[in-house]
Amino acid sequence: MRPLVACIALLACSGNSRGDLAGPPPDGGATDGGPAGKGVWHPASGTTWQWQLSGATDTTVDAAMFDIDLFDAPQSTLDTLHGKGRVVVCYLSAGTYENWRPDASRFPSGALGNPVAGWAGEWWLDTRDATVRSIMKARMDLAVQKKCDGVEPDNVDGYLNNPGFPLTGDTQLDFNRFLAGEAHARGLSVGLKNDVAQVAALEPGFDWALNEECSRYAECSALQPFVQAGKAVFHAEYSTACPAAVPGHSLILKHLGLDAWRMVCP
């Protein structure tokens, strides 16, 4: 989940809106398989990436991995990206209910908790619920159908918020490991989104990490288990300028709305 900060125009940033555009398609960083049914994608540190969840996907961005919305991105976009040799990760919210999604009617009312502060139409989920987990399996089946190479399950730290259910660190570990296992069972790569408090316990089961603003919140050191394992850490900051470089992180600046704009940081 994106933090509740003001959406900044980022006009003070130098560089263009597509970062590292020149040159041939970059190395996807796969250490064991990758796209086109060649096994689970395991990106190495330094893998380049683009994260776009709103607007028509700009497929011309020169990045090895594109992280796009599972439901909103049309199949033609995935096919175009694969034709360019890109890895495609598909975003889904695993820990919250979003009332605009096509499968929203499947969620039991008893599994919907408190509203997510600052995000209209979104409620925390009881991630212990069997139906919720069944829906997440169906979403991963859709990811396979659309030929996603991996998934980015979001909102996997509900226990640290105010979900309206007695979620704990242990229930979160169980759910996050469930998500990783279901992704791998389908040949999908899977990243750990935020949840920095449980990185040490969860790193072995995940292929990469995606973090929002660990520089701003002085949390980047918590991601060291991924760096030490040689796994990619995809790091985004919503800022006007690049923060200090973080060794082992693939750091980009993004608008809060996660449109096509992107600036690559050293």
- Residue 204 is assigned to a structural domain of this protein: yes
Q: Which domain holds residue 118?
A: 49-264
Q: What is the pLDDT along the chain (266 residues), one digit of tens a residue?
A: 544 433 323 323 323 332 332 333 344 555 444 544 468 999 999 999 999 999 999 999 999 999 999 999 999 999 999 999 999 999 999 999 999 999 999 999 999 999 999 999 999 999 999 999 999 999 999 999 999 999 999 999 999 999 999 999 999 999 999 999 999 999 999 999 999 999 999 999 999 999 999 999 999 999 999 999 999 999 999 998 999 999 999 999 999 999 999 999 99
* Angstrom distance (rounded) from CA 75 to CA 94: 21
- Residue 66 is assigned to a structural domain of this protein: yes
* Angstrom distance (rounded) from CA 170 to CA 165: 13
pTM, entire model: 0.89
Query: What angle in degrees, to the nearest 10, is found between the helix axes of 169-185 and 130-145?
Result: 30
- Residue 234 is assigned to a structural domain of this protein: yes
Q: What is the CATH number of the domain that holds 101?
A: 3.20.20.70
CB-CB contact of 143 with 103 (8 Å): no
- Residue 35 is assigned to a structural domain of this protein: no
Neighbours of 230 (CB within 10 A): 14
**pLDDT score for 240:** 87
**pLDDT score for 38:** 63
- Residue 38 is assigned to a structural domain of this protein: no
Name the nearest CA neighbour of 96 among 78, 122, 71, 72: 122
Which two structure tokens, joined as six digits, stand for 11? 């006009």
CB-CB contact of 73 with 31 (8 Å): no
Complete edge-to-edge strand list for the sheet that includes strand 112-115:
96-98, 122-125, 112-115
Task: Provide CB contacts within 8 A for 45, sequence distance 6+.
Answer: 29, 227, 230, 231, 232, 233, 248, 249, 250
- Residue 28 is assigned to a structural domain of this protein: no
- Residue 202 is assigned to a structural domain of this protein: yes
**pLDDT score for 246:** 98
Task: Provide CB contacts within 8 A for 138, sequence distance 6+.
Answer: 103, 106
Total domains, the chain: 1
- Residue 21 is assigned to a structural domain of this protein: no
